[in-house]
Amino acid sequence: MHIEIDEISKQFGTTAALSPVSLSIPSGALVALLGPSGSGKTTLLRILGGLEFPTSGRVLFDAQDATGLTVQERRAGFVFQSYALFRHMTVFENIAYGLNARPRASRPPKAEIARRVTKLLDLIQLPDIGSRYPSQLSGGQRQRVALARALAIEPRMLLLDEPFGALDAKVRKELRQGLREIHDETGLTTVFVTHDQDEAMELADMVVVMSMGRIEQIGKPSEIRARPASTFVREFIGV
Amino acid sequence: MSDTTAHKFRSARDEAPLARYALIAFAVIGVGVLVAAPLLAVFVEALADGAAAAVASLGNRDAASAIKLTLLIAAIAVPLNALFGVAAAWFITKFDFRGKAFLITLIDLPFSVSPVVAGLCIVLMFGTNSLVGGWLVASGYPVVFALPGIVLATMFVTFPFVARELIPVMVEQGRAEEEAALTLGASGFRVFWTVTLPNIRWALLYGVLLSNARAMGEFGAVAVVSGKIRGETATMPITIEMLYNEYLSVAAFSMAAVLTLLALVTLMLKTALEVRHADQLAANHRH
């Protein structure tokens, strides 16, 4: 799905989290929103997911105005920073949650839900953990379960907030590859937020460098490396 | 480690033996004198003339009415307060708005206002001399000196318990799980029912039990609004006081023993639930 961000701004009280920003994300792209904390990248991601509403501007999904769509209507697969797995549910129940939450008419039968959950557990390469609770999983496993849970609703796009932030360096490398593979397999337009420039450069097709609620530069990793558009970008990516 | 080494190192958190024993003794004496002994005394006094006399004193009409009334009040006030408490805690922790600190203070108000003053407020609001009260009495629904007044007084006094238990738990858990459920397509109601409520159930249970214990035991506020009509508006604590003032000590202490037992049952219920669901509790905390 093609995502168009048209002059979006966001005020929290008197502070501006986003000055009007515009961004066009082609269908099927893997995009990194890169910036230090307070740069507005998470706010922008939450606006895309419908968890936050812009003060002004529009969001378009496939050229249709989606600004007023509720979080449920957006059907965005969202992976939260600390994964936000439901702690009182098993992994299976976590992944099945979105399917069970559908209105009766469009809810798949039980057997079909079980089949899909099993398939997703295979996709994240953790076929045997369905009956465990989140507290019994490692950080990397939690992240993959969160990803499977987001994919279960057959989302129109995938939004990830610092998906690797809480992991150690080795697991981080593995999971980057995992996300790339899942992205390529599903073909979903994917936006992830990160403050780690290596991660952004290595994983994304397109990097959006942000600072103080503004977009500093948009481009392929190689372009940004070769031609940083501002002093900020040059210093932040360290070239 | 200290077991295998020759030197005896003391861990940073260990006290010197003397200090340790002194603290333990202090705690045991404190609990003994302040909690255990008075509780025991209640039962000893109740059984002073034998068990038969104690049971007989509970058998009359007024005593039975008091017990029934107290249970009825708790049965009305506690669920309503649980509902209000959950709503208030939900509102305070899941939304940002102006005047939040003021609302929290307001919820705490019943803790700092004397129950007698609370009772008086209800009499002033709903007494025959007030506008609302006069109208209610004329319509045949008296509040003061009747069940509604006692329930209101009890609810006022026990209002903070549930919200106070829930707010810290809900603040600590944050909003991420709720937001995750929303992005997965769940309606607000479904989110509350399948995510919020299961996450707060232990705190809620604890708040309800505290609130229940206090509701059954409340004296001051109820004493003012009830009018202490024997067999009608006299709750258990009120009846205990009246019996005691009439030097009917066996009857007074028997009633007190029943009230104590009700409280003990609630506590045992809580412990039993905790033991039974220990694994879930642990899962809740470890995550």
Evaluate whether B124 touches B118 at the Cβ level (below 8 Å): no
pLDDT digits (tens, 9 = 90+) for B73-131: 999 999 999 999 999 999 898 888 888 889 989 999 998 999 999 999 999 988 888 88
- pLDDT at residue number B8: 67
Residue A162's φ and ψ, nearest 5 degrees, are 40, 60
Residues of chain B positioned with their CB less than 8 A from the CB of A88: 198-199, 280, 283-284
Chain A nearest-CA residue for B285: A135
Q: How many helices (H) and strands (E) does chain B have?
A: 15, 0
Q: Which of A76, A87, A136 sits opposite B183 (nearest CB)?
A: A76
Interface test with A, best of B172, B184, B193 (most A CBs within 10 A): B184
- pLDDT at residue number B287: 43
Give percent above pLDDT 90 in chain B. 49
Query: Chain B: nearest CA to A177, how far in angstroms?
Result: 24
Look-up: residue for tokens 């003032």? B245
- pLDDT at residue number B114: 92
Q: Do A134 and B198 touch (CB under 8 A)?
A: no
Q: Do A78 and B287 touch (CB under 8 A)?
A: no
Query: Chain B: nearest CA to A227, how far in angstroms?
Result: 37
Q: Which of B181, B186, B280 sits opposite A88 (nearest CB)?
A: B280
- pLDDT at residue number A59: 93
Q: Do A149 and B183 touch (CB under 8 A)?
A: no
Query: What is the rounded CA–CA span in Å between residue A170 and residue A59?
Result: 36
Q: Is the pLDDT of residue B256 over 90?
A: yes
pLDDT digits (tens, 9 = 90+) for B212-249: 989 999 999 999 998 888 888 899 999 999 999 999 88
Query: Chain B: nearest CA to A167, how far in angstroms?
Result: 15
Compute the average pLDDT of residues A107-120.
94
Q: Do A71 and B284 touch (CB under 8 A)?
A: no
Residues of chain A positioned with their CB less than 8 A from the CB of B194: 86, 97, 101
ipTM confidence score: 0.92
Interface test with B, best of A133, A147, A149 (most B CBs within 10 A): A133
Evaluate whether A9 touches A56 at the Cβ level (below 8 Å): yes
**CB distance from B283 to chain A under 8 Å?**
yes
Tell me A105's DSSP state: G
- pLDDT at residue number A31: 95
Q: Do B283 and A88 touch (CB under 8 A)?
A: yes
Q: Do A72 and B182 touch (CB under 8 A)?
A: yes
Q: Is the pLDDT of residue A175 over 60?
A: yes
Q: Is the pLDDT of residue B270 over 50?
A: yes
- pLDDT at residue number A148: 94
**CA quadruple A147, A149, A154, A156: dihedral sign:** negative
Q: Do B182 and A71 touch (CB under 8 A)?
A: yes
Question: What mean pLDDT, rounded, does chain B reach?
Answer: 88
Query: What is the rounded CA–CA span in Å between residue B259 and residue B257?
Result: 5
pLDDT band at B252 (very low <50, low <70, confident <90, very high): very high
Question: What mean pLDDT, rounded, does chain A reach?
Answer: 92
Q: Which of B177, B190, B198 sits opposite A84 (nearest CB)?
A: B177
Residue A162 has which token pair? 């610092």
Q: Is the pLDDT of residue B285 over 80?
A: no
For chain A, the residues whose C-beta falls within 8 A of a C-beta of chain B are: 49-51, 71-72, 74-78, 80-82, 84-88, 97-98, 101-102, 133-136, 149-150, 152-153
Compute the average pLDDT of residues B14-42.
90
Query: What is the rounded CA–CA span in Å between residue A140 and residue A142?
Result: 5
Query: What is the rounded CA–CA span in Å between residue A99 and residue A102?
Result: 6
Q: Is the pLDDT of residue B5 over 60?
A: no
Query: Which residue type does A146 have?
Result: A
Q: Which of B176, B184, B284 sits opposite A98 (nearest CB)?
A: B184
**Residues 134-163 (B) with a CB less than 8 A from some CB of A:** none
Q: Is the pLDDT of residue B25 over 90?
A: yes
Q: Is the pLDDT of residue B283 over 70?
A: no
Chain B nearest-CA residue for A79: B180
| Burial bucket for residue A55 (CB in 10 Å: 0-12, 13-18, 19+) | middle
pLDDT digits (tens, 9 = 90+) for A24-39: 999 999 999 999 988 9
- pLDDT at residue number A129: 92
Question: What per-residue string of b and e applies to B82-115 under the rule 16 or more CB within 10 Å gives b?
Answer: beebbebbbebbbeeeeeeeeeeeebeebeeeeb
Residue B89 makes CB contacts below 8 A (sequence gap 6+) with: B162, B163, B166, B167, B170, B200
Domains and CATH numbers, chain B: 1-46 (no CATH), 51-284 (1.10.3720.10)
Compute the average pLDDT of residues B142-160.
91
Residues of chain B positioned with their CB less than 8 A from the CB of A71: 179, 182-183
- pLDDT at residue number B6: 57
Residue B65 has which token pair? 């009415």
User: What is the secondary structure of B92-133 as a DSSP string?
Assistant: HHH---TTHHHHHHHHHHHHHS-HHHHHHHHHHHHSTTSHHH
Evaluate whether A96 touches A152 at the Cβ level (below 8 Å): yes
- pLDDT at residue number B221: 92
- pLDDT at residue number B173: 87
